[in-house]
Chain A
Amino acid sequence: MTEKWNITLRIYRQKTGELPHFDDFAMEVDPNEYVLDAIERVWAFHDRSLCFRHACHHSTCGACGMRINGVEKLTCITVIRDVTHNGATLKVEPLRNFPVVSDLAVDMGVFYRKMEMVGARAVLPVTEAEIEHPPATWQPEDARYIRLSDCLECGLCISACPVAATTIEYLGPAPLAAAQDVGLRRSPELLTIIDSEDGLWRCHSAFECTAVCPSFVDPGRRIMNLRKQAIGLKLTKLFGKPGVPQP
């Protein structure tokens, strides 16, 4: 008989024109389930007015990012056992630094537009996706395989970033990481977008983004590498042959 836990889901609620508050839902859950399953059951059986974003349920779409007990998580791949224990309360809040549409659903508009502005690659050759230990069997012609990028545009890094908390103008970890993935060698004109007050030089190396990224992007490292690329390109523009960016 599968083990059952009784937990309380304390869910943030906000409707236009009403004061935000928390609702508690006592739930019987299977600890091996995912947090999103429990949230969906709240909607299905307890409260149809619960608004939340979800689509793929297996970390490819990036819709279900929320803060679970204050920590940014993709709720579709977060196992209940890993974030709470039997009889405890699980606090579910929307992501920070995004306008709340209602309850747990946030408006990703500005964030997606910034990703579009830097020309984030939605698909890329398999061999270009930075993987710790690429399979030894990769041959050059494997570059013809195309795959969806690692970044799910889930917004967890934007929610965790202390600088993104100060202004909506800040480009943010994911767009900067995407700009690094595109690279200044491939599109030097990106420099004008990222080399600005609200771009590359606002990052304060807190590495909160890398800590919460559920999808192997490691935005912290990419931002730092982008700084090297940017300084390299600017110095070559100043001293070396104009327009030949450093790797």
Chain B
Amino acid sequence: MPKSHVIIIGAGFTGVAIAHDLALRGCDITVIERGDICNGTSGRTHGLLHSGGRYAVKDKESAIECIQENTILRRIVPQVIEPNGGLFIALNESDLSYAEQFIESCQECGIPLDELTPQHALQLEPNINPKLLSAFVVPDGTFDPLRLALAFAATAKHNGARFRTFTEVEGLQIDGQGNVIGVNILDRTSNQRMGIRADVVVNATGAWAGQITSMASLDAPVTPTPGIMVAYDQRLVQRAVNRLNVPGDGDIVLPQRRMVVVGTTSFDAENVDYIPVVEEQTKLMLERGSELIPGIRNAKPRGIYMATRPLISGGSGRSIARTFKCYDHKQTHNIDGLVTITGGKATTLRLMAEKTADVVCAKLGISAPCITQDMPLLSYREYYAIPN
């Protein structure tokens, strides 16, 4: 019985993770990406390896997913992670009042937490706001977005997955019964068009999910919600620093290489292809960032960028998880051969891939279980050992 052929559209975190998972479960994979690996939202993620603390109070399901995936990623791809932990710091009475439910929720979600006296916190991180009232240590971390994606892509490639970058999907091949049986692509490096058949097409295009589903005249449940990140040119802290309070704008500052990156905001946008930087938001990041780490005031911005989160809105159809939307269009719109996965967070890329791979394998009658949680990934540089 020849291997089933799965086409994955989109080589962001979700796309490469699904390629890795399905390759291990014996599928023949072709990943199609209109740019290069990780050049969409995934590339411009904040870079926070969530401990779940940020979501513990408001969204326990997300928090539990984050802490589990955080632990797995530290084990399977350590070479792209700064695993130095994180701090939630309270700067005023309202922050302090949030502490109690924060502690409770973290314990509920299984997020390791311990409280520090302000003096101890300042001794660990001298550059945080000295007027802090209390601090909690959580297992946050930082990762390099491109290398995290490349590590998954490298392992997938070594297990047989083919990557076609700079190749745009122009349309879906649909048979008489309205089922998706392949894609029509345009190779941008040579302006050549061709069609590729597949048993299942996975739409892992994140914020651009709508563009693919519209090719099968379906609506997509994703509302692109951009946010700003500002990177400053000094590494002022070793840990991620979060504001202990209800999640808000500019409440996370994390170290990355020799920088600190302040994020983020959240607003609606229609044209997903290009989000201009909004001046006020840059100022807001400076203001909020310097509340957490005053030293940011005399650091220089090194990069200011917008990332478009694929937040899931209503949309029709039942999704198998509330935190991200992955469903088989056979169940939702009686169109076979197309699976869409969107929403979710960078930290949970492996889990999103596992769930999507389960859906794909169910459609293909593959019983192989997911084994990615214990499988260390190859070095991200191995992606280049085999030409595309």
Q: How far is the CB of A201 from chain B (nearest CB, A)?
A: 25
In the bound complex, residues from chain A placing their C-beta under 8 Å from that of B387 are 107, 109
Given contacts A48-B168, A76-B303, contact A56 B259 (CB under 8 A): no
Given A15-B191, A147-B235, verify A58-B382 contact (CB < 8 Å).
no
Contact B146 A112 (CB under 8 A): no
B145: contacting residue among A55, A101, A215, CB under 8 A = A55
Residue in B44, B78, B380 whose CB lies within 8 Å of A56: B44
Number of residues from A at the complex interface, CB < 8 A: 59
User: Any chain B CB within 8 A of the CB of A33?
Assistant: yes
Residues B190 and A148 in contact, CB atoms below 8 Å apart:
no
Closest A residue by C-beta to B141? A146
Interface residues of B in 362-388 (CB under 8 A from A): 379-385, 387
User: Least Cβ distance of B343 to chain A in Å?
Assistant: 21
Instruction: Collect the chain A residues with CB atoms within 8 Å of residue B256's CB.
Output: 60, 148
Q: Collect the chain B residues with CB atoms within 8 Å of residue A131's CB.
A: 258
In the complex formed, the residue of A with least CB distance to B142 is: A148
- Out of B81, B146, B235, B302, name the residue touching A61 (CB < 8 Å): B146
Interchain CB contact under 8 A, A116 and B382: yes
| CB neighbours of B43 from chain A (8 A) | 54-57, 61, 63
Q: Please indicate the chain B residues that have their CB under 8 angstroms from the CB of A113 in the complex.
A: 381, 384-385
Q: Is A115 an interface residue (CB 8 A)?
A: yes
Which of these binds chain A: B176-184, B244-252, B273-281, B323-331? B273-281
Minimal beta-carbon separation of B50 from chain A (angstroms): 18
Tell me the nearest residue of chain A to B44, going by C-beta.
Answer: A57
Q: Which residues of B contact A62 (CB under 8 A)?
A: 146
Q: Which of B83, B126, B259, B381 contacts A60 (CB 8 A)?
A: B259
The answer to whether A44 and B274 touch (CB under 8 A), given A49-B191, A51-B166, A146-B83, is yes
Q: Which of B78, B82, B189, B302 contacts A77 (CB 8 A)?
A: B302
For A126, the closest partner residue in chain B by CB is: B238
Within 8 A of A (CB), among B77-91: 78-84
Determine if A105 and B147 form an interchain contact, defined as CB atoms under 8 angstroms apart: no
Residues in A neighbouring B255, C-beta threshold 8 A: 147
Contact, CB under 8 Å: A102 / B188: yes
Nearest to B85 among chain A residues (CB) is A145
- Which residues of A sit under 8 angstroms from B238, Cβ to Cβ? 126, 142, 145, 147
Indicate whether B4 reaches chain A with its CB closer than 8 angstroms: no
A64-94 vs B: 1/0 string, CB under 8 Å?
0000000000001100000000000000000
Which parts of B281-316 form the interface with A (CB within 8 Å)? 302-305
Q: Is B322 an interface residue (CB 8 A)?
A: no
Taking CB atoms, residues of chain A closer than 8 Å to B84 are 145-147
Which of B33-41, B58-66, B203-211, B350-358 interfaces with chain A? B33-41
* CA gap between A44 and B270 in the complex, in Å: 13
Whether A63 and B303, one on each chain, are in contact in the complex, defined by CB atoms closer than 8 angstroms, is no
Which residues in A have their C-beta under 8 angstroms from that of B189? 15-16, 51, 101-102, 105
Contact A116 B381 (CB under 8 A): yes
Chain A residues within an 8 Å CB radius of B80: 122-123, 148
Give the residue name and chain of the A residue nearest to B261 (CB).
A58
Decide if A228 is an interface residue (CB 8 Å cutoff): no
8 Å CB interface, B20-47 against A: 35-39, 42-44, 47
Given A41-B274, A101-B166, A147-B255, A56 and B82 contact (CB-CB distance below 8 Å): no
Say whether B161 faces chain A, with CB atoms less than 8 Å apart: no
User: Could you pull out 5 A-B pairs where Cβ atoms are within 8 angstroms?
Assistant: A61-B38, A63-B43, A101-B166, A102-B188, A129-B258
Given contacts A112-B384, A113-B384, 15 further A-B contacts (CB under 8 A): A48-B188, A51-B166, A53-B39, A55-B43, A101-B166, A102-B166, A102-B188, A102-B190, A108-B384, A123-B82, A135-B126, A142-B238, A147-B255, A148-B142, A215-B258
B interface residues, Cβ below 8 angstroms from A: 35-39, 42-44, 47, 78-84, 126, 142, 144-147, 149, 165-166, 168, 188-191, 229, 231, 235, 238, 255-259, 261, 271, 273-274, 276-277, 279, 302-305, 379-385, 387
Which 4 A-B pairs rank lowest in CB-CB distance, beginning with the nearest? Answer: A58-B303, A55-B43, A57-B305, A61-B146
